[in-house]
Amino acid sequence: MLEEDMEVAIKVVVVGNGAVGKSSMIQRYCKGIFTKDYKKTIGVDFLERQIQVNDEDVRLMLWDTAGQEEFDAITKAYYRGAQACVLVFSTTDRESFKAIPTWKEKVVTEVGDIPTVLVQNKIDLLDDSCIKKILRIFQRKSKITFELLLYSCEEAEALAKKLKLRFYRASVKEDLNVTEVFKYLADKYLQRLKQQTAEDPELVHTSSNKIGVFNTAGGSHSNQNSSTLNGGDVINLRPNKQRTKKNRSPFSNCSIL
């Protein structure tokens, strides 16, 4: 059991090509809203939401980008200390699906093997696109459209199997499966945390543990227990057991904005 009056904080990165719905997903989960045109608030790096998982208080910090992914320009600071990851692609954008293995590699390179899920977003558009594609196949027997159809229906599951990831079909717009994605990640993270603590009870007390790098340079909330080594590339922070005193404020449930 984790200590009383402490909570676990998890930095979650949400990655994938531009326009797949990453910012929308973060907004939906933390603020309960969906807008067609989400503009990132300058100076805000993440939104947060507090949940309970198996009687444990967990604070999820969902880190957003300001569109740098379109230029392949996500900084190391974005990934640094991430403890869980959502890989997102869109039902209507095949390129975003093809890019998933590369995104996963980037995350693994930066932060190692962390709890990760694969999400196919915008499934509210699936029926429509599937039906249209089937019609087109019958009309033209086009190889390309056939490929697209397969991607919609089967390929994503195959990729998830190959990458050994839990796979969710979601619609941020319809609020379908968004909560489940983050609940799964929090659960998975807690399981690992308990396992690590059982194997090494000292872990939580060790301040020089590199496993638990967390929430560092560049963040609007980057000043907690941080120190910079080697010109900023390696940061020693709190250990993996991210504990903070519970914030009892009524405003603590949601959002940094």
**Binding residues vs ligand GDP (CB under 6 A):** 18-24, 36, 38, 121-122, 124-125, 171-173
238: partner contacted, choices Mg ion, ligand GDP, none (Cβ within 5-8 A by kind):
none
How far apart are CB 169 and ligand GDP at their closest, in Å?
A: 10
Residue environment code for 64-75, b if the CB has 16+ CB neighbours within 10 A, otherwise e: bbeeebeeeebe
Cα–Cα distance for residue pair 257/113, rounded to 1 Å: 30
Nearer to ligand GDP by Cβ, of 121 and 152: the residue is 121
Nearer to ligand GDP by Cβ, of 21 and 212: the residue is 21
Nearer to ligand GDP by Cβ, of 38 and 167: the residue is 38
Under rule CB under 5 A, which residues in 6-45 are in contact with Mg ion?
23
How far apart are CB 4 and ligand GDP at their closest, in Å?
A: 38
122: partner contacted, choices Mg ion, ligand GDP, none (Cβ within 5-8 A by kind):
ligand GDP
Q: How many CA atoms lie within 13 A of 189 on its CB side?
A: 30
Quote the Cα angle for 199-202-207, to 5°. Answer: 130
How far apart are CB 14 and Mg ion at their closest, in Å?
A: 9
Q: Which two tokens stand for residue 252?
A: 């603590």
How far apart are CB 193 and Mg ion at their closest, in Å?
A: 29
Closest CA to 61 of 207, 220, 209, 210: 220
